[in-house]
Amino acid sequence: MQAVRIGEFGAPDGLEVVEVPVPRPDAGQVLVRAEAIGVGGVDAVIRRGLLGTGFPVGMVPGSEAAGVVTATGEGVDPAWTGRRVWAFTGIGGAYAEQVLVAVGDVVALPDGLTAARAVTLGSAGPVAHFALAHAHHAPGESVLVRGAAGSIGIATVELAVQGGAGEVAVTTSSAERGRRLRELGATRVLDRSGGGGTDRYDVIIDVVGGPDVPAFLDRLAPNGRLVLVGAVAGFPPADVGSALIRAFQQSRSFATFSLDTVPHPRRDAVRADQFDAAVRGALSTVVDDVLPLRAAVEAHRRMDAGTVFGRLVLVPGDSPAMA
């Protein structure tokens, strides 16, 4: 089968398409024939080599896929075979025609939800949900979503609106993206630096990270909370806490959030509810484009260029429309 691996860390050209054996599921695992593979910001961060050890050359990137279970390992209910599922592969392994997944990391898909839409929401939706909870967001409080044009940002905007946010501001890179985010519920659009307004916010959900995190800490209202959920621009500076100390009397807070800290049953229950909400039209699944698996380099070039709105999706074969 075909898979994409990291032949060299750095630029997108370091990704390469290779032929590898079809894996067999071990005890507790299922084999999923991928119909759609999500391309996430963390994939690009790993490919750039920014996360240090634990990510070897030759690894297959990607953390989520959706498709059909084709085989089960020992101890797994054989009734999973033939079911359509969303699958979480961990830190890698999804950029392949077939993926191995622990049975505890698959969620059955409802009728009416395509594989491409599933990988647009499957990780992003729960991250947005639990990040807002981690920030203790309450109805009436204002929210700023930094880096709102990606799938996590879009889900955060919609969930903040549905949670009764008093205002939902976003940062993005163009007027067109701002228009689309307003259609999804944003009430104020700022540029990437946070310019275009002087208001302060009760909650900031930051998907971007990087050297500008301290500047956004300064955009918090008294008792405001910034939760960092991504680092597509790199890690914050080592002295990030200085911005909090300088505004000590404002009682601001900074936190990180990873979905890994949420127990499986809780995240899977939220994920299943969100899949049902997407079928009803209550949550958006914004697919920027669908590309063949062999075009992973092009997908990552677009990620690096910052031109993606929503989620890029890879599909095995040469029929992207089938996703």
Single pTM value for the model: 0.95
Place of tokens 């639990």: 130
Backbone angles phi, psi at 15, to 5 degrees: -80, 140
The verdict on residue 281 lying in a domain is no
Per-residue pLDDT band at 320 (split at 50, 70, 90): low
Average pLDDT over residues 267-277: 97
Which helix (DSSP H) or strand (DSSP E) does residue 286 occupy?
A: none
Place of tokens 């959706």: 66
The verdict on residue 217 lying in a domain is yes
Q: How far from the centroid of its chain's Cα atoms is residue 159's Cα?
A: 15
- Residue-wise pLDDT for 36-83, tens only, equals 999 999 999 999 988 777 789 999 999 999 999 999 999 999 999 999
Within this chain, do residues 44 and 140 fall inside the same structural domain, yes or no?
no
CATH number, domain containing residue 165? 3.40.50.720
Which helix (DSSP H) or strand (DSSP E) does residue 303 occupy?
A: helix 296-305
CA distances to 54, 179, 234, 292, 299 from 139, rounded to whole Å, are: 40, 24, 31, 42, 37
Backbone angles phi, psi at 33, to 5 degrees: -80, 110
Give the whole-angstrom CA distance, residue 35 versus residue 304.
24
In this structure, what token pair is assigned to residue 164? 């009764």
Within this chain, do residues 101 and 162 fall inside the same structural domain, yes or no?
no
The verdict on residue 48 lying in a domain is yes
- Residue-wise pLDDT for 211-240, tens only, equals 999 999 999 999 999 999 998 888 999 999
Least confident piece of the model among 28-32, 190-194, 195-199, 242-246: 195-199
Average pLDDT over residues 287-315: 97
Within this chain, do residues 138 and 248 fall inside the same structural domain, yes or no?
yes
Number of domains in the chain: 2
Q: How confident is the prediction for the chain on average, in pLDDT?
A: 95
- Residue-wise pLDDT for 116-172, tens only, equals 999 999 999 999 999 999 999 999 999 999 999 999 999 999 999 999 999 999 999
Per-residue pLDDT band at 322 (split at 50, 70, 90): very low
Within this chain, do residues 132 and 255 fall inside the same structural domain, yes or no?
yes
Which helix (DSSP H) or strand (DSSP E) does residue 109 occupy?
A: none
The verdict on residue 118 lying in a domain is no
Within this chain, do residues 144 and 100 fall inside the same structural domain, yes or no?
no
Within this chain, do residues 39 and 102 fall inside the same structural domain, yes or no?
yes
Place of tokens 């920014």: 50
Within this chain, do residues 134 and 166 fall inside the same structural domain, yes or no?
yes
Within this chain, do residues 227 and 298 fall inside the same structural domain, yes or no?
no
User: Which of 187, 134, 200, 115 has its CA nearest to residue 158?
Assistant: 187
Domain boundary (260, 295, 311) is at 260
Name the residue type at position 28: G
Taking residue 24's Cβ as centre, other Cβ atoms within 10 Å add up to 10
The verdict on residue 279 lying in a domain is no
- Domain carrying residue 303: 2-109+286-322
Per-residue pLDDT band at 193 (split at 50, 70, 90): confident
User: Which of 294, 317, 284, 313 has its CA nearest to residue 115?
Assistant: 313
Within this chain, do residues 139 and 254 fall inside the same structural domain, yes or no?
yes
Give the whole-angstrom CA distance, residue 318 versus residue 209.
36
